[in-house]
Amino acid sequence: MRTALLQSSGRPGSVGENLKVLDAAAARAAAAGAALLAAPEMFLTGYAIGDDIARLAEPADGDSADAIAETAGRHGIAIAYGYPERDGETVHNSAQLISADGTRLANYRKTHLFGGFERDHFTPGGQPVVQAELNGLTVGLMICYDVEFPENVRAHALAGTDLLVVPTAQMHPFQFVAESMIPVRAFENQMYVAYVNRVGQEGEFEFVGLSVLAGPDGVALTRAGRAEQLVIADADPAFLAASREDNPYLKDRRPGLYGSLA
């Protein structure tokens, strides 16, 4: 499945402008043959927007979700994107996957909040594994800091995730996560990992870019730099099956030795 990563911080504070950026990226990705476009964490609204997070938060089936469903259907491409989700009085840092026909396939709420900024504005989710079937692959959703917990990613591996999509707001000085950790996560869990980051200065944060699609062999199939980019690579089910056959990590586990970690 050809997968496009939109490395961009969009236009923080402007949902309308970010929907336009997403629409233009969907057109470019679809023209390049991509079946999935992934956008960063909090792409819909911007990340470092303070109290505007609560003001701009929407339900999973809100107006913006409808607009993105229309974009997906018009361009014939599935879209995964980050946004602040309102559920009554609660706001979550969420990611949603919408199919190429505009169907809402999966919605995930970030389970591990990073730093005081996120804890001040969001309530953590409680469901670590959220998946959907897309073009013959089991696609899982996770957000940024979540992928830095090996138990989280291993839970996806044991649940059969083939492609883990990780909308991200990775900031300086933690670029080693994109550079080193993500390929290792893909290798040790025998899956593809699409890690799609914001980029540039936004409020007090400097987002480092370096978005990457890593394969189950630990190789970065495509990697962005430190500017706004659309990068594209393939998640190949046949290669994944062969890699899982050759790599015994998951088969050689001994859960009885790990106690509660397993």
* Active-site option among 58, 110, 118, 202: 110
Pairing of strands 163-168, 192-197: parallel
Distance CA 152, CA 89 (A): 27
Is residue 20 part of the annotated active site? The answer reads: no
251: annotated active-site residue: no
Single out the catalytic residue among 58, 85, 118, 144. 144
Catalytic-role residue among 41, 58, 85, 202: 41
- In this structure, are residues 68 and 43 in contact, taking their beta carbons and an 8 Å threshold? no
Q: Determine whether 41 is an active site residue.
A: yes
- Catalytic residue positions, numbered: 41, 110, 144
